[in-house]
Amino acid sequence: MMSDEDKQDELFSDEPPPEEVEAVDEETGAGEDEFVLRDLIDENFLEYAGYVIKDRAIPSLEDGLKPVQRRILWSLHRNDDGKFIKVANIVGYTMQFHPHGDASIADALVTLTNKRYLIEGQGNFGNIHTGDPAAASRYIECRLTPLAREQVFNKHLTTFIPSYDGRNDEPVLLPSKLPLLLMLGAEGIAVGLATKILPHNFGELLQGQMEILKGRSPKKILPDFLTGGVMDATEYDMGRGKVKVRAVIEKKGKNQLIIRELPYNTTTESLIRTIEDAIRKKKIKIRSIQDYTAENVELHLNLIAGQDQDETIKKLYAFTDCEISVSSSILCLENNRPVELTVNEVLRKLSDQLVETLRLELEWEKNRLLDEFHHKTLVQIFIENRIYKDIEECKTYAAVQKAVLDGVNKFRHLLKRDVNKDDVEMLLGVRIKRISRFDIEKNRKDIDEILIALDEVEKNLGRIVDYAVDYLKNLKKKYAKDYPRLTRVDEDGFKKIEVRKLTASELKVRYDASAGYLGHEVKEGEELLQCSSLDKVIIVWKDGRYMMIPPPEKLFVDKNVEYVGVFDREKEFLCVYTHNQTSYIKRFNFGGCIQNKEYSLCPKGKNKLLLLEEGAPEEVYVKFAPMKNQRVHQLKVKVADYAVKGAKTKGNQLTAKKIKNLGTKKPKNWDDESDLDPNAVLDF
């Protein structure tokens, strides 16, 4: 045994013992500990990723549920007596199966209740229109809906596994006969995966399944949202792509708009925030907003006098959440593995599953009826033929069993299967009271009804697909009226809103030359232009520098600004500038520019812009400064002689003479008789 001193020597030794020398990979240089740690991290990460995908974020194709939803429904089913149960109690029951906190369970239960189909709530479960939260779980109650009670559970077809702590059994999947994956919709983000399944209309899904079972392609099945609205599904392709959803806005009077329905995943609170933001940014002119929403949405927007209602509606769609775009991607677990499907693929798989579930139910019912027929027939034989008399002289229990077995086997032709020991024990358990009061006519009537039911089951098994269609038809007839379509579909798609046209005069840009400030928040100075907040502004200084920027609120640009305009890369300009005492002329467009980056129209050096105009004037009139012995005093230039080039080109030399003034309009003192100097214009 190692002594304390030896241990201390080993602990503080500079070199490890020979048997503990770490192995090093010759290629990577990694030590053994690095390999162990890397493998451990890889293994744990994969386990975590698999857990999040399978046990938390992604719903299953088979029953359309995430684990927490399945456990909530199972807990409700286990405790279902038709009465409302405290949500807090259901949360507690669910925690027997769900290894997470009560808050996540309560939130999931409230969300599931607000989707209407499976859980009925009593009390304040929040408001999907306003975004108000639900009351505490101890104050609200819930129970299964008749639809869930009838269509989601069947203990005979359910496979169970031990719960996380091994104290209970929970279902792997619920044998749902409803297309819950598309009815409920789902959102989830896992490790490397995400799903966004939009909710669809109950009746339309059932109709689609019927069409599939009849061998036909279903009509286009589109999402349907609880908040209503109007939908443009032109970019939606069977669960892929996206839909655009708009609020329903009505006009009232001359200066009021009323929002009656909301886009998906928005509330009146979130919508008001986006409207107020648009008002602050001066995109919309609304005087006040009143929210009268209770059971139904009612949001009043009072416009500033003189505002056009139709134009304001367009601006609401363009600049607020009155119109949103919702992407869709149907990712789910099939046989516990993630797959991406379309709406039609999901319906086909669920239709096949429905047929198999109904077949298993019929098989189970057939076996139950056969057992009931067998038992009732045995009892009838046992009593009518007084077989119980045969056991009076038997001295052993084995002899009693044999006497009963031999007695009923004489009538084997009346039975549908052989008699076994359990059947004998059942007959020996028949009470004397029943023998004395046995109603032979009633028993025969029961047997006849069992045979009729068996024939019906056999018939349905032989036409299982048609039976499934009839089943869906009855289900739709019974429940579809309770779940009408809420979101209207615009078949032609929304008309494109020209946002720039709507906001063309949104901002008024002023330039205060005395202070050197430019922007739409500048109160003094000259108004240079009106533009949209979506536009870009080009600023050109007198030394030839230029820059492209968003419309500024208040920007210091100095006092030597030559030109400010809305940026258009293809717009043509005419420019005359002096560079090192030589004048140049060029036609150009700005082309592509990087925002907030400074450029120059002139080469490096001492430069000054003499002329900068939009478009292409026909001629430029140049007056030279007076000089001794000067023969030529003016110059007329034809602009069309120059090609349009880029903003960074040097251009063509105009003259080396000093220019007194120039312009695109003929000055009053222009001499039309004067000859032009043929050497005044030199091309480079």
Determine which one of 48, 51, 139, 292 is catalytic: 139
Q: CA-CA distance, 341 to 218, in Å (whole number)?
A: 16
Give the contacts of 85 (CB within 8 A, at least 6 positions apart).
Answer: 76, 79, 141, 142, 143
Maximum C-alpha span of the chain: 160
Q: Which residues pair with 241 in a beta bridge?
A: 236, 328
Do the Cβ atoms of 647 and 590 come closer than 8 Å?
yes
Q: 232 with 243: CB under 8 angstroms?
A: yes
What is the rounded CA–CA span in Å between residue 389 and residue 372? Answer: 24
Q: Is 48 a catalytic residue?
A: no
How many other C-beta atoms are found inside a 10 Å radius of the C-beta of residue 67? 20
Residue with tokens 């089913």: 77
How does DSSP assign 311-380, residue by residue? HHHHHHHHHSTTEEEEEEBEEEEETTEEEEE-HHHHHHHHHHHHHHHHHHHHHHHHHHHHHHHHHHHHHH
CA atoms within 13 A on the CB side of 363: 9
Residue whose pair of structure tokens reads 């379309």 in the numeric block: 342
Nearest Cα to Cα of residue 541 among 569, 521, 516: 516
| H or E stretch at 92 | helix 87-94
Strand residues in 422-560 grouped as ranges (E): 488-489, 507-512, 517-519, 526-531, 537-541, 545-549, 555-556
Beta bridge partners of 141: 86, 122
518: which strand partners?
511, 555
Packing angle, helices 343-384 and 421-428, rounded to 10: 60
- 647/563 Cα distance (integer angstroms): 14
Cα 555 to Cα 511: distance, rounded to the nearest angstrom: 10
- Taking the C-alpha atoms of residue 198 and residue 632, their distance in angstroms, rounded to an integer, is 79
Helix orientation angle between 87-94 and 102-114, rounded to the nearest 10 degrees? 120
**3-class DSSP state of 481:** helix
Angle between helices 464-479 and 202-213 (to 10 degrees): 160
Instruction: For residues 586 and 639, give the distance between their C-alpha atoms in angstroms, rounded to a whole number.
Output: 9
Question: Annotated catalytic sites, by residue?
Answer: 139
